[in-house]
C-alpha cells in the first residue's frame, strides 16, 4: 500500500532534510566517541513541542510520560526510539512522541532503553519488557497498551510483542512501526533495488550497526533481534500492525516482507510505502507535510485499536 498520494513531495524540502542528516553523519569518524555521536543526534532533533514531558522510573528503567494537551490517561502508547541501538534518546524523539500523543489522543511512555556498545542484545528487549510489566503493576492491562517505534525501535517493538507471547495469551492492542529494522542480517532485495535512491543507509553501514549491537555471540536471525525470522505461528498471533516506510529506503524490504509474512500467517498488517520519502521521514514534521500526514494516520490507527472512535479504513 502506498502513502497518501495527495501529499506530493517537495524535492527541495526532502533534500534539505537529507542534508541535515548527512551533516551529522559526515562529522563522525571511526574514532568519534559514542557520547559525541549521541549528543550530535540529540541536537539534530532538538525541537520539543508543547506536550508535557514528565520523567519517571519504570522499575529502574528511565522513561518519560509525554502527553499532549487534553489527552486521555487510561490508555498508553509505549514508544521505543530508533538510532541503530547506539544513538537516539527521549530528547531526540521528544517532538515525534508529542505529535503522536496528540494524533492518538493518549499518553505516550517513551523508554530510554540501554544502548550498545555498552549494553548489547538482549538488554533493550529486557528493558522494554520491564516497562510493560511495570505498566501492568500500575493497573494497565495489555489491551490498553499499544507499542510504537521507529527504525531499530520499530524492530524492538515487534520483538517485545513476540517476547510477550511466551508470557501469556493477552497481547497489546496494536503496534505502529516507522521504517522498522526487522532483519539485522540485511538480506532484503531493497538493499540492491534502492541503493541508488537511499542517500544515507547502505548495507555495509547496516551490517556494522548490527554487529555492534549483537556482539560476537548473538545470531542476526534470532527472532527476538530480527523479528522477520519469527515463525508463522508467532507472526499470526501479533496484534494489528501499521507499518510505514519511505520508498527510497534500503530497508524498505524490512517492512514490506514483514507485513507479507504476517498476513500470510493469518495476522493483520498494513504496510504503507510513502513515495520519495527517506528513513524515518516522520521525524521531520516541521519540514515535510508527509511526516505530519503519516503521524496523523498512525495516531488514528492507534486510537481506533485503543478504544477510541473509528476514524478511517487503515485499521486492518
* pLDDT computed for residue 315 by the predictor: 33
Q: Which helix (H) or strand (E) holds 143?
A: none
Return the closest-CA partner of residue 227 out of 197, 289, 184.
184
* pLDDT computed for residue 3 by the predictor: 52
For residue 299, the enclosing domain spans 11-305
Q: b/e map of 62-94 (b: 16 or more CB within 10 Å)?
A: bbbbbbbeebeeebbbbbbbbbbbbbbbbbbbb
Question: Has residue 316 been placed in a domain?
Answer: no
Question: Has residue 294 been placed in a domain?
Answer: yes
Question: Has residue 90 been placed in a domain?
Answer: yes
Catalytic-role residue among 101, 151, 226, 253: 151
Question: Has residue 190 been placed in a domain?
Answer: yes
Question: Has residue 312 been placed in a domain?
Answer: no
pTM score, whole prediction = 0.94
Question: Has residue 1 been placed in a domain?
Answer: no
Question: Has residue 172 been placed in a domain?
Answer: yes
Question: Has residue 288 been placed in a domain?
Answer: yes
How far is 161 from 235, CA to CA, in rounded Å? Answer: 10
Domain count, the chain: 1
How far is 93 from 295, CA to CA, in rounded Å? Answer: 13
DSSP calls for 43-81: HHT----SSEEEEEEETTEEEEEEE-TT-EEEEEEEEE-
* pLDDT computed for residue 170 by the predictor: 86
Which CATH number belongs to the domain containing residue 185 in this structure? Answer: 3.40.50.1820
6 is catalytic: no
- Crossing angle of helices 11-25 and 34-44, in 10° steps, is 160
**Mean pLDDT in each 10-residue stretch from start to end of the chain (316 residues)?**
55 93 90 95 86 97 97 97 97 97 98 97 98 96 97 98 90 98 98 96 95 93 98 98 98 98 98 98 96 98 81 35
Judge contact between 153 and 80, C-beta under 8 A: yes
Amino acid at each position: 500500500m502506498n502513502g497518501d498520494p495527495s501529499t506530493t513531495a517537495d524535492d527541495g524540502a526532502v533534500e534539505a532534510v537529507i542534508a541535515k542528516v548527512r551533516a551529522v553523519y559526515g562529522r563522525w569518524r571511526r574514532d568519534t566517541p559514542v557520547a559525541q555521536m549521541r549528543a550530535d543526534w540529540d541536537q539534530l532533533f532538538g525541537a520539543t513541542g508543547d506536550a508535557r514531558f514528565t520523567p519517571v522510573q519504570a522499575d529502574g528503567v528511565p522513561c518519560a510520560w509525554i502527553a499532549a494537551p487534553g489527552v486521555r490517561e487510561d490508555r498508553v502508547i509505549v514508544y521505543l526510539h530508533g538510532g541503530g541501538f547506539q544513538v537516539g534518546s527521549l530528547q531526540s524523539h521528544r517532538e515525534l512522541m508529542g505529535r503522536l500523543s496528540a494524533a492518538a489522543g493518549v499518553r505516550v511512555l517513551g523508554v530510554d532503553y540501554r544502548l550498545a556498545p555498552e549494553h548489547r542484545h538482549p538488554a533493550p528487549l529486557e528493558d522494554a519488557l520491564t516497562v510493560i510489566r511495570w505498566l501492568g503493576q500500575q493497573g494497565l492491562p495489555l489491551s490498553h497498551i499499544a507499542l510504537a517505534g521507529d527504525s531499530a525501535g520499530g524492530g524492538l517493538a515487534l520483538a517485545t510483542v513476540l517476547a510477550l507471547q511466551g508470557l501469556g495469551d493477552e497481547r497489546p492492542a496494536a503496534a505502529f512501526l516507522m521504517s522498522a529494522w526487522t532483519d539485522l542480517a540485511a538480506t532484503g532485495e531493497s538493499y540492491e533495488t534502492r541503493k541508488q535512491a537511499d542517500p544515507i543507509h547502505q548495507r555495509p553501514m547496516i551490517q556494522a550497526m548490527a554487529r555492534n549491537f549483537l556482539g560476537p555471540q548473538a545470531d542476526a536471525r534470532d527472532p527476538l533481534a530480527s523479528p522477520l525470522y519469527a515463525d508463522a505461528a508467532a507472526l499470526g498471533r501479533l496484534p494489528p500492525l501499521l507499518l510505514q516506510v519511505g520508498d527510497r529506503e534500503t530497508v524498505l524490504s524490512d517492512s514490506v516482507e514483514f507485513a507479507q509474512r504476517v498476513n500470510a500467517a493469518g495476522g493483520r498488517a498494513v504496510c504503507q510505502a510513502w513515495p520519495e520519502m527517506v528513513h524515518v521521514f516522520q521525524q521531520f514534521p516541521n519540514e515535510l507535510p508527509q511526516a505530519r500526514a503519516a503521524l496523523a494516520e498512525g495516531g488514528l490507527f492507534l486510537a481506533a485499536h485503543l478504544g477510541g472512535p473509528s476514524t478511517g479504513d487503515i485499521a486492518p
